[in-house]
Structure 1
Amino acid sequence: MDPAGLIGIVLAFGAIFGALVIEGADPMSIFLPAPLLLVWVGTIGVGIAGHTVKDVLSSFAAVPRALRSKAPDPSATVDTVVDLADRARREGLLALEDAAKDIDDQFLRNGLQAAIDGTDPEDLRIILEDRIATKRTQDRVHSKYFQDMGGYAPTIGIIGTVISLVHVLENLADPASLGHSIAAAFVATLWGILSANVVWLPLSTRIKRISDLECQQMEVTLEGLLAVQAGANPRLVGERLRSLLPEKAPAKVAA
């Protein structure tokens, strides 16, 4: 599990409520039912209006996976593919059929099985590229949904503030309550901006980033499978696939 998403959101909320405490405000003062209802439910409502029900359900279903998922390690995939290439070169492609059953990566396992079954290399490339494109498109739908929510939330918050200020103007005859009423009116704007920048937009970015990493691993797998199918030299396969990976930061030399 990569904890960056959860850590970031918890730190952001901690900083916000910590600032309230430092300023001497009661953190519970922003938990007003009306602004919370308007901003959170209203934002989700307009988000639903701009997407299909399937998009909405799949987007929320993608959140736990995005927050809990471990960043894929393409270097481990490279090692697996090199081992497969070595065995295929020594024993033939059909000898990998048993090995395919023990592979956890479904994309690699299915692609390898297709290669073993004699799928034409060009057809295999097209099939695997289509699977990568389909995944990337679906993940972009999920990311776009939360990005849209991040755009709607501040405006919904402003609407809530305007509604509250209208109520304040209706009660100008009671000056003693004006300060509290005006402060409460701006709570909706606070929640609109907070939800957009601490929840919706980070979720959108997180989903997109995890998708990019997974698709990068799938692309490395694709090139590796085609090399295995072609009977390429395992050493060259390893060099080719590692060239597709981002370079790691050099280790610091101790003084």
Structure 2
Amino acid sequence: MDLVSLIGTILAFVVIILGTVLKGSTVGALWNPAAFVIVFMGTIAAVMVQNQGKVLKRAMSMAKMIYMPPKHQPHDLVSRVVGWSEISRRQGLLGLEPQIDAEADTFVRKGLQLLVDGSEPDAIRNAMEVELETREHIDLAATKVYENVGIYSPTMGIIGAVMGLMAVMQNLADPSKLGHGIAAAFVATIYGVGLANLIALPMSSRLKGLVGKETRMREILIEGLVSIAQGDNPRQIESKLQGYLS
């Protein structure tokens, strides 16, 4: 659990609520069903039009990474690669076959399988880099869904505010309804801007950073597997991969 992200999310809501109270309003003033429907449902509709279903599905599955990010431990990965190289020098590449079933990551399993099958170093690099680029492309497309939310939600907030003001204009003859109507109209703006700047855009940036770290880990793995296929000395491999950790 990433406590910093969790605290940041909670703090975002606290700031809005506390700011409302300090300004002399009430927490209840922040709730408006019509504004909620216009901003949140309107934003979802726009995002659904722009993105394919598989991209939206991947974006939703990645949301949990904000609070439970994968553990990127490049030092441990380097140690594992060096261990594989030592096994291959003692037992040959077939000695790595038991390591395949021990790996949960399909990317790692594919690389080891290519190595055990005796693929040429260039063939291993090409096959792994194609999959690396494909996975990175899919993940980055998913992170842009949250960026899209950050783009559309403020606009939907403005639409909600304008629609609210239109309703107010229809009740100009009744001054008692003007104040409440105007306040309710601007709730949509709060929803739109708050959703974009306190949730969606920070999530997009965080996920892009996590995707970048995952890509770097896979680059280390590819370089290590290619080095093993080339028959490099374990110490040489370790020295080479340490360059990624600088």
TM-score (norm 1): 0.91
| CA distance in 2 between partners of 1:183 and 1:110 (Å) | 58
> Between the two proteins, what is the percent identity of the paired residues?
36
1:5-154 pair list within 5 angstroms = 5-154=5-154
Residues 29-61 of structure 1 show CA distances to partners (whole Å, capped at 9, x for unaligned) of 111100011100000001111122232233222
Residues 181-216 of structure 1 show CA distances to partners (whole Å, capped at 9, x for unaligned) of 111110001100001112211221122111111111
Q: 1:65 to 1:192 in 2, by over 3 A?
A: same
SS of residue paired to 1:243? helix
Residues 144-166 of structure 1 show CA distances to partners (whole Å, capped at 9, x for unaligned) of 12111110100110011011111
| CA distance in 1 between partners of 2:99 and 2:142 (Å) | 34
Assess if the C-alpha contact under 8 Å between 2:6 and 2:67 holds in 1: yes
- Equivalent position of 1:194 in the other structure: 194
- Equivalent position of 1:252 in the other structure: none
- Equivalent position of 2:159 in the other structure: 159
1:236-247 pair list within 5 angstroms = 236-245=236-245, 247=246
Q: 1:103 to 1:134 in 2, by over 3 A?
A: same
Q: 1:54 to 1:106 in 2, by over 3 A?
A: closer
Assess if the C-alpha contact under 8 Å between 2:93 and 2:118 holds in 1: no
Q: Which amino acid aligns with 2:15?
A: A
> CA shift at 1:18, angstroms?
2.2
Assess if the C-alpha contact under 8 Å between 1:220 and 1:241 holds in 2: yes
Q: Which amino acid aligns with 2:186?
A: F
> CA shift at 1:136, angstroms?
0.7
> CA shift at 1:66, angstroms?
4.4
> CA shift at 1:99, angstroms?
2.6
Q: Which amino acid aligns with 1:101?
A: D
| CA distance in 2 between partners of 1:4 and 1:68 (Å) | 11
| CA distance in 2 between partners of 1:105 and 1:117 (Å) | 18
Assess if the C-alpha contact under 8 Å between 1:46 and 1:152 holds in 2: yes
Q: Which consecutive unaligned segments of at least 5 residues does structure 2 have?
A: none
Q: Which amino acid aligns with 2:239?
A: E
Q: Which runs of 4+ in 1 moved over 6 A?
A: none
Residues 128-153 of structure 1 show CA distances to partners (whole Å, capped at 9, x for unaligned) of 00111001100111111211111010
- Equivalent position of 2:221 in the other structure: 221
Q: Which amino acid aligns with 1:28?
A: G
Root-mean-square deviation (Å): 1.6
| CA distance in 2 between partners of 1:139 and 1:3 (Å) | 23
TM-score (norm 2): 0.94
1:196-211 pair list within 5 angstroms = 196-211=196-211
